[in-house]
C-alpha cells in the first residue's frame, strides 16, 4: 500500500506542460525527496498532491484518497508548508499556532508531543510577531503549524531554500525526528547534495522524473564511467577536456572536474596523456563514484 | 462555529495591529465629516461679482449697495472697457460681470423695458447658474423697493401674478449640511464595506497566507463570512460615530428610528461587502483590486445621488442605478434622518438591498475558489 501513488499525471499551464506523464510512488513513513532545479515542476506536483491544483489527466491517490474529490477528508491528513512563508506576519508565534490548531479542530496541547522538539526552540519568543522572526525561526514556526494537527503526510516545498548551511542541517535533523513519529515526508529541494539525506528520491527536470530510487540506487544505475580530474588549472583543463574524443560530459565540481565517458572505453592513463599533451601538468585522474549531481546532469542531458 | 469565531478573532487582531488600517477605520470618520461637510458646499457665499454702472443714477447706486450688502457677493466696481471686461473673466478676477446700461433709471421711470447684461464665467456651471438666480432676485427686489417712484409703469404687469411661497419640508431652511452629511456618511460606510473587505482578502493572496488557509479544512463560506462580519461591525461602528458627530456638531436631525437606520445599514453593508468580495475573487494583487474598486466606487458615488439629484439624470442613467447599492442607501439614509421614514415607507428599497446583498454574497462565495 502506497501513501502516494501517481500514474501518468499531466498538467499544462496554457500550452506549457508543467508535468509531463509523471509516475511516482511514496511508501508509508518514507522520507521522499523531489530533487530538481527551478521550473522542474516540483511545486506544481506538490500543489496537486495537496489538492490546491487539479491535474489535467492521470491517476492520483494520496493517503488512499482522491485529492480532486475527497479534498475535505484529505486536508485533515495533510500538513503542507509552502515555499513562501505563508503564516500571518501580524500574529504572534503562539497565535498562529493556536489559529491553525483550531482550524483543524484540534488544540496545541493535544499534539504537543509531536511538535515539542521544534516548538520548544521558539516557545520563549511565543509573543513575538511572526513577521519579526529570523528565517530559521520562521521555518520552525511554519513546520510547527503544519504539524499541529498530526498529519499522516507532511509536504514541504523547498524548506531549505535561502537558509544558511547550519540551519539547513538542523532542519533535516528535525525532519528525521518527525519521521520517527510515523509520518510520511515529501520534501522538494533544488540542492542536489540534500538528496543523500532522503530514503528515496526522484530527480525532476522539465516536468518529468528522469530517475528515481534510493540515492545509492541512482548512483549505481549510472551507466557510464566517471573520472575525477584534480588540477590547479580548472578553467584551462575544462577547456581542454571539452575536446576529448567521444566525450559525454565534463563539469567542474569545486576543486575537481568530473568527466563522463562511455563505459570501459578509456583508461585513466589516456586522459592524463591527453591533458599533458595540451601543456597542462601536475594532474591526477582517478575513477570515481558518481554523486547525485552527476546522475542529474547525466540523466537530464540524455533525456533531451 | 469555533472555526468562525477564531477567524473573526484573527481578523480583529490583525486590524488592530495594522498601523495604517486602524487610523483609517477610527479617525478618518471624524476628519471626513468635519472637512467635507464644511467644505463640500453648494451654497453661494462671497462670490466675486464686478458691476459696471453706466447709468450713475439713484436706482443704480441703490442696486449696487444692495449687492454690496448681500452675503452672497463680493462686489467690485469697474468702468466700462471692453478689453478689461473680457480680461477680468479670462483671468478669473471675477465670476460675473453685471452691466447697468445708460438711461436705466430714465427708461424705468418712463416705462420703457430695460435690459441688464450679466456675463457669467460658466466653467463651473453649477455656481454660475446659482449666481444668475441670485442676481435676478436682487434686481427684482429693487423694483419692489422703488415701487412709489416707478408709478408710471404698471408693476402688476411686470411682477409675476402668482406669488409662489415655498415651504421646504423636511429641511425648512434648506440647510445644505443636512443634505451633505448623510451623503458623506454613506460614502464612509461604503468605503469600509467595499474597500477594506476587498483589500483584506487580496492581501491574503499577496502575502501567500491564502495558500496555507486553503490546505486547511476551512470551508469557503467560513472564510468569507469571517471576512464579512468584522467589516459589517466596523461599518456600523463608523456610522454611529458619524451620526453622533453630525447630531452634536451640526444639529443634524434624526427623525426616524435608530433600528431602521441599522437595519438598512446592515443590508447595505452586506451588499457592498458582496461587491468587495466579488472584486477580490477576480484580483490577485492589491493594484488590480484597487483599480477595479475605484472604477465602481466612483460610478456608485456620482450616480447614487450623493452630490446631485438622481431625478435629473437621463433615463438610461437612472436605469443603471438599479444595480447601484449607493442609490438605495443614499435615499434611505436621507429619508430616515430628515423625514423619519420607517421600514414600511422604504419597503421597496428594503427588498432591493436585501436581494442585492444575498445575490452578491452568494455569487462571491460561489466564484471564490480554493482550488485554482
Grid cell, residue A72, equals 475535505
pLDDT tier at A304, thresholds 50, 70, 90: very low
C-alpha distances (whole Å) from A297 to each of A189, A218, A262, A291, A304 are 16, 12, 15, 10, 11
Grid cell, residue B180, equals 451633505
Name A24's bridge partners.
A6
Cα separation, B229 vs B232, whole angstroms: 5
Note whether B13 and B149 are same-domain residues. Answer: no
- In this complex, do A50 and B215 lie within 8 Å of one another by their Cβ atoms? yes
Note whether B56 and B16 are same-domain residues. Answer: no
User: Mean of the pLDDT values across residues A86-113?
Assistant: 91
Q: Does B372 touch chain A (CB under 8 A)?
A: yes
Task: Choose among B10, B13, B211: nearest Cβ to A86.
Answer: B211
- Domain assignment present for residue B372? The answer is no
Note whether B24 and B51 are same-domain residues. Answer: no
- Domain assignment present for residue B223? The answer is yes
pLDDT at A91 exceeding the cut of 90: yes
Cβ(A57)–Cβ(A10) below 8 Å = yes
Overall number of domains in chain B = 2
Residue B67: in which H helix or E strand, if any?
Answer: helix B58-69
Nearest residue in B to A154, CA atom: B215
Residue A203: in which H helix or E strand, if any?
Answer: strand A200-205
Contacts of A76 in chain B (CB under 8 A): 217
Note whether B196 and B63 are same-domain residues. Answer: no
Measure CA A105 to chain center: 31
In the DSSP assignment, the letter for residue A157 is S
Q: Does B14 touch chain A (CB under 8 A)?
A: yes
Task: Choose among A52, A90, A103: nearest Cβ to B18.
Answer: A90
Residue showing cell 591526477:
A284
Domain boundary residue among B110, B134, B158?
Answer: B158
- Identify the CA nearest to B202 among candidates B289, B303, B274: B289
Cβ(B8)–Cβ(B226) below 8 Å = yes
User: Mean of the pLDDT values across residues A174-194?
Assistant: 90
Note whether B189 and B57 are same-domain residues. Answer: no
Q: What is the pLDDT of residues A22-74, one digit of tens each?
A: 999 999 999 999 998 888 899 999 999 998 888 999 999 999 899 888 888 89
- Domain assignment present for residue B340? The answer is yes
Cα separation, B287 vs B265, whole angstroms: 28
Q: Note the pLDDT of residue A186.
A: 95
B interface mutation test: which of A47, A90, A157 has the most B CBs within 10 A?
A90
- Domain assignment present for residue B168? The answer is no
A interface mutation test: which of B200, B216, B219, B221 has the most A CBs within 10 A?
B216
- Domain containing B145 — which CATH number? 3.40.1710.10
Note whether B183 and B294 are same-domain residues. Answer: yes
Q: Does B126 touch chain A (CB under 8 A)?
A: no
Note whether B134 and B236 are same-domain residues. Answer: no
CB neighbour list of residue A118: distance below 8 Å, 6 or more residues apart: A140, A143, A144, A147, A174, A177
- Domain assignment present for residue B166? The answer is no
Grid cell, residue B50, equals 464686478
Note whether B91 and B207 are same-domain residues. Answer: no
Q: How many C-beta neighbours within 10 Å does residue B162 have?
A: 4
- Domain assignment present for residue B233? The answer is yes
Cβ(A182)–Cβ(A171) below 8 Å = no
Cα separation, B350 vs B343, whole angstroms: 7
| φ, ψ for residue A214, nearest 5 deg | -75, 160
Q: Note the pLDDT of residue A160.
A: 85
Note whether B351 and B323 are same-domain residues. Answer: yes
Task: Choose among A54, A90, A100: nearest Cβ to B216.
Answer: A100
Residues of chain B with pLDDT under 50: 371-372
Task: Choose among A50, A72, A88: nearest Cβ to B209.
Answer: A88
> Does the reported pTM lie above 0.80?
no
Q: How many C-beta neighbours within 10 Å does residue B312 have?
A: 9
Q: Note the pLDDT of residue A303.
A: 54
Cβ(A35)–Cβ(A172) below 8 Å = no
Grid cell, residue B21, equals 488600517
Cβ(B100)–Cβ(B65) below 8 Å = no
Q: Note the pLDDT of residue B371.
A: 45
Contacts of A52 in chain B (CB under 8 A): 211, 214-215, 370-372
Q: Note the pLDDT of residue A279.
A: 82
Task: Choose among A95, A104, A145: nearest Cβ to B217.
Answer: A104
Note whether B13 and B84 are same-domain residues. Answer: no
Residue B62: in which H helix or E strand, if any?
Answer: helix B58-69
pLDDT at A3 exceeding the cut of 80: yes
- Domain assignment present for residue B167? The answer is no
- Domain assignment present for residue B165? The answer is no
Cα separation, A74 vs B231, whole angstroms: 32
Note whether B180 and B113 are same-domain residues. Answer: no
- Identify the CA nearest to B12 among candidates B189, B227, B262: B227
Q: Rg of chain A's alpha carbons, rounded to an integer? A: 22
Domain boundary residue among B106, B129, B158?
Answer: B158
Burial B81-100 (b: 16+ CB within 10 A, else e): eeeebeebbeeeebbbbbbb
Q: How many C-beta neighbours within 10 Å does residue A190 have?
A: 16
Domain boundary residue among B126, B158, B190?
Answer: B158
What ipTM did this prediction achieve?
0.79
Percent of chain A at pLDDT above 90?
36
Q: Rg of chain B's alpha carbons, rounded to an integer? A: 28
Domain range spanning residue B127? 47-158
Q: How many C-beta neighbours within 10 Å does residue A265 have?
A: 11
Note whether B338 and B230 are same-domain residues. Answer: yes
Cα separation, A213 vs A218, whole angstroms: 6
CA B246, B249, B251, B255 torsion: positive or negative?
A: positive
CB neighbour list of residue A283: distance below 8 Å, 6 or more residues apart: A229, A230, A231, A237, A272, A275, A276
Q: Does A245 touch chain B (CB under 8 A)?
A: no
| φ, ψ for residue A191, nearest 5 deg | -90, 110
Amino acid at each position: 500500500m502506497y501513501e502516494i501513488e501517481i500514474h501518468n499525471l499531466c498538467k499544462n499551464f496554457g500550452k506549457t506542460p508543467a508535468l509531463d506523464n509523471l509516475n511516482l510512488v511514496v511508501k508509508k513513513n518514507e522520507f521522499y525527496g523531489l530533487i530538481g532545479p527551478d521550473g522542474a515542476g516540483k511545486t506544481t506536483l506538490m500543489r496537486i498532491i495537496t489538492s490546491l491544483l487539479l491535474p489535467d489527466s492521470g491517476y492520483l491517490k494520496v493517503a488512499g484518497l482522491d485529492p480532486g474529490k475527497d479534498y475535505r477528508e484529505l486536508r485533515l491528513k495533510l500538513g503542507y508548508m509552502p515555499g513562501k512563508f505563508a503564516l500571518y506576519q501580524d500574529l504572534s508565534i503562539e497565535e498562529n499556532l493556536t489559529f491553525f490548531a483550531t482550524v483543524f479542530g484540534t488544540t496545541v496541547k493535544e499534539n504537543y508531543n509531536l511538535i515539542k522538539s521544534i516548538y520548544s526552540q521558539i516557545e520563549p519568543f511565543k509573543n513575538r510577531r511572526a513577521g519579526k522572526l529570523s528565517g530559521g525561526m520562521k521555518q520552525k514556526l511554519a513546520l510547527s503549524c503544519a504539524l499541529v494537527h498530526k498529519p499522516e503526510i507532511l509536504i514541504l516545498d523547498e524548506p531549505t531554500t535561502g537558509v544558511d548551511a547550519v540551519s539547513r542541517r538542523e532542519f533535516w535533523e528535525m525532519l528525521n525526528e518527525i519521521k520517527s513519529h510515523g509520518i510520511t515526508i515529501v520534501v522538494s529541494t533544488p540542492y542536489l547534495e540534500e538528496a543523500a539525506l532522503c530514503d528515496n528520491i526522484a530527480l525532476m527536470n522539465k516536468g518529468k522524473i528522469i530517475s528515481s530510487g534510493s540515492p545509492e540506487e541512482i548512483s549505481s544505475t549510472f551507466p557510464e564511467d566517471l573520472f575525477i580530474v584534480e588540477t590547479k588549472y580548472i578553467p584551462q583543463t575544462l577547456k581542454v577536456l571539452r575536446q576529448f574524443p567521444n566525450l559525454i560530459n565534463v563539469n567542474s565540481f569545486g576543486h575537481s572536474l568530473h568527466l563522463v565517458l562511455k563505459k570501459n572505453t578509456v583508461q585513466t592513463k589516456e586522459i592524463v596523456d591527453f591533458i599533458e599533451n595540451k601543456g597542462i601538468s601536475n594532474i591526477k585522474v582517478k575513477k570515481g563514484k558518481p554523486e547525485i549531481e552527476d546522475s542529474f546532469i547525466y540523466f537530464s542531458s540524455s533525456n533531451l | 462555529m469555533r472555526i468562525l469565531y477564531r477567524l473573526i478573532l484573527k481578523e480583529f487582531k490583525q486590524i488592530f495591529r495594522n498601523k495604517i488600517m486602524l487610523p483609517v477605520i477610527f479617525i478618518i470618520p471624524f476628519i471626513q465629516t468635519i472637512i467635507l461637510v464644511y467644505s463640500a458646499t453648494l451654497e453661494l457665499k462671497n462670490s466675486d461679482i464686478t458691476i459696471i454702472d453706466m447709468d450713475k443714477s439713484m436706482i443704480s447706486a441703490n442696486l449696487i449697495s444692495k449687492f454690496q450688502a448681500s452675503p452672497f457677493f463680493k462686489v467690485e466696481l469697474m468702468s466700462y472697457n471692453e478689453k478689461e471686461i473680457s480680461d477680468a473673466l479670462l483671468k478669473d478676477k471675477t465670476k460675473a460681470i453685471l452691466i447697468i446700461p445708460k438711461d436705466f433709471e430714465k427708461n424705468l421711470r418712463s416705462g420703457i423695458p430695460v435690459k441688464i447684461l450679466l456675463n457669467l464665467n460658466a466653467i463651473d456651471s453649477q455656481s454660475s447658474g446659482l449666481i444668475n438666480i441670485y442676481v435676478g432676485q436682487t434686481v427684482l427686489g429693487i423694483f419692489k423697493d422703488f415701487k412709489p417712484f416707478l408709478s408710471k409703469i404698471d408693476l402688476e404687469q411686470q411682477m409675476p401674478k402668482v406669488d409662489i411661497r415655498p415651504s421646504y419640508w423636511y429641511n425648512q431652511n434648506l440647510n445644505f449640511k443636512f443634505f451633505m452629511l448623510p451623503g458623506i456618511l454613506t460614502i464612509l460606510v461604503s468605503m469600509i464595506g467595499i474597500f477594506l473587505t476587498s483589500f483584506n482578502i487580496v492581501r491574503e493572496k499577496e502575502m501567500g497566507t491564502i495558500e496555507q488557509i486553503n490546505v486547511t479544512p476551512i470551508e469557503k463560506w467560513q472564510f468569507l463570512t469571517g471576512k464579512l462580519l468584522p467589516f459589517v461591525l466596523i461599518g456600523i461602528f463608523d456610522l454611529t460615530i458619524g451620526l453622533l458627530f453630525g447630531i452634536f456638531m451640526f444639529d443634524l436631525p434624526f427623525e426616524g428610528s435608530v433600528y431602521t437606520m441599522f437595519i438598512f445599514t446592515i443590508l447595505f453593508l452586506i451588499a457592498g461587502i458582496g461587491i468587495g468580495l466579488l472584486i477580490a475573487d477576480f484580483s490577485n494583487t492589491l493594484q488590480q483590486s484597487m483599480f477595479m474598486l475605484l472604477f465602481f466606487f466612483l460610478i456608485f458615488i456620482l450616480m447614487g445621488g450623493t452630490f446631485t439629484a438622481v431625478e435629473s439624470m437621463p433615463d438610461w442613467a437612472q436605469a443603471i442605478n438599479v444595480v447601484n447599492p449607493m442609490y438605495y442607501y443614499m435615499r434611505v439614509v436621507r429619508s430616515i434622518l430628515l423625514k423619519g421614514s420607517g421600514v414600511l415607507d422604504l419597503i421597496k428599497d428594503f427588498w432591493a438591498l436585501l436581494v442585492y446583498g444575498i445575490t452578491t454574497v452568494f455569487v462571491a462565495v460561489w466564484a471564490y475558489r480554493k482550488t485554482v
